[in-house]
Amino acid sequence: MGEKLIIFMDFDGTISREDVCNKMAARYAGRDWEEINRLWEEGGITTGECASRILSSMEVGAAELEAFFQAQEVDPGFSPFLDWVQKNQHLPIILSDGYDRYIKSILRGQGWEIEFYANKLYWDDAWRMESPYLDEECFKCGVCKSKIIQERSLPGYLTVYIGDGYSDFCPAASCDIVFAKNELAGYCQKEGLTYYPYRDFHDILQQLPRIVSRM
């Protein structure tokens, strides 16, 4: 396979087996976190407002939170997929509208070094978020994945996107090859975007080389 790929990947519910951000909120945030999250998914509030309201209600220390992050499971197919990516000298990049703190923790625990973009989670009298990759003309997501894809794409490389949820809608339209499940698959169907369904990274590893060979 001669084509080189830049593979952009969501994290929560894609690389991690479950949405770590939602699990964190369910365990440590106030009772209304699901309603706040629903408003965000419907576009009623921005990522920043959603995060501020949920994070400010979290009562947990850094050590307990780190232990919680370390207990999270990743897609069992991701390790062999990453091996294939690195063996073939493709470029993997994680784009997450979640938080750097748990992505760093989980990647470190697995022994993986992968470039990633995410919101910053930090403590300052309460848990707070900083969004260094925000598109200030949009505000839908804390991390503008589409803008990063535009900036990181390279001449001669095919772009691949792998995701599952609301924050993946915009970037899915920006890439040559899209793997989608859950809400992202529904969005692609609704918008007429070509995509390949998957359950886990084992599926992607089986499909992607064949797809690229036909292009």
The half-sphere exposure of 29 on its side-chain side, counting CA atoms within 13 A, is: 22
Angle at 18 between CA 39 and CA 73, to 5 degrees: 150
User: Which residues on neighbouring strands pair with residue 196, listed in sequence order?
Assistant: 179
* Alpha-carbon distances, residue 198 vs 43, 163, 164, 180, 209 (angstroms): 26, 10, 10, 6, 14
Provide the pairing of β-strand 4-9 with 91-99. parallel
| Pick from 87, 80, 92, 84: nearest CA to 157 | 92
Helix (H, G, I), strand (E, B) or coil at 180: strand
Output DSSP code: residue 167: G
> Can you give the pLDDT at residue 48?
83
Alpha-carbon distance 117 to 95, whole Å?
5
Structural domains of the chain ordered from first start: 4-213 (3.40.50.1000)
Q: How far apart, in Å, are the Cα atoms of 145 and each of 25, 27, 71, 115, 202?
A: 23, 27, 27, 14, 24
- Provide the residue-wise pLDDT of the chain in tens; the chain has 215 residues: 568 999 999 999 999 999 999 999 999 998 899 999 899 888 888 878 888 999 999 999 999 999 999 999 999 999 999 999 999 999 999 999 999 999 999 999 999 999 999 999 999 989 999 999 999 888 788 899 999 999 999 999 999 999 999 999 999 999 999 999 999 999 999 999 999 999 999 999 999 999 999 88
